[in-house]
Amino acid sequence: MSRHAVAEPLPMSRQDRKDQTRKGLVRAALQLMGEGRSFTSLGIREIAREADMVPNGFYRHFRNTDELGLSLVEEVGVTLRQLLRQARQPDSPDTSLVRKSVRVYHQYIRDNRLLFLFISSERAGGSRILRMAIREEVRHFVDDMARDMQAMPAYRSMPLPTLQMVCSLIVNTMLAAAPEILDLPMDQPTLEQAMVQRFVHQLQLILLGASLLQSSSQLTAPMNRDQLGLIA
């Protein structure tokens, strides 16, 4: 063999092939939804056909379409929660947690358009199993955010139930903004900037209300520097 010959790639393991096939089914379902189909209208045969496999191959990875949908919900939830938790860490030169979080969220939706088309449509309709799974992920988002905010000086003394209510408003506002982000053309930077700024203002108003509630309940002076830094 010539010393310049290119080495052949190592054969894929059985698990690697299984993971690749599973991802192929997920991509196939997303691709069909990208063509205007609702997730609940998809059948196992057409998902398998789009993934270039026989229908029986589907059952080696998922028991039914709901189980495939649950894997999509989990993927969005775990990944986005990690990204947003990183954005809330106070070790960035950008002192506004709101702006950082909006930027991360907006970019994730742009990069994962088909996933969010699925989340947006199934959150309000479709399978009850998927609606409940999305609600559970929303609760995880709220709990994560409440824990992070409770560690911040501005909200340390706020009762946890109140803080969870504030975080629930923030998370649901973020979810409500997803369809608008998805519908915005990619070649309209001015409209995009205006939409992002409006989104930032909405979240700032929620935090401002929480800060005023905190101040009035403690009969203290207006917002301090920690509170202003969060919403600036």
pLDDT band at 231 (very low <50, low <70, confident <90, very high): very low
Cα 62 from Cα 28, distance rounded (Å)? 14
Please report where in the chains the tokens 């990208």 appear, as a residue: 34
pLDDT band at 220 (very low <50, low <70, confident <90, very high): very low
pLDDT in tens, 158-189: 889 989 999 999 999 999 999 999 998 888 88
pLDDT in tens, 41-100: 999 999 999 999 999 999 999 999 999 999 999 999 999 999 999 888 866 544 578 899
CB atoms within 10 A of CB 163: 20
Q: Residue 219 carries which DSSP code?
A: T
CA distances from 46 to 8, 31, 54, 121 (A): 35, 11, 10, 20
Contact between 97 and 211 under an 8 Å Cβ cutoff? The reply is: no
Pairwise pLDDT comparison (27 vs 224), residue with the higher score: 27
Domains of the chain, each with CATH number or no CATH? 14-62 (1.10.10.60), 66-231 (1.10.357.10)
User: What average pLDDT does the structure give for the chain?
Assistant: 85
Q: What is the DSSP string of 126-156?
A: S-HHHHHHHHHHHHHHHHHHHHHHHTSGGGT
pLDDT in tens, 98-108: 899 999 999 99
Cα 136 from Cα 131, distance rounded (Å)? 9
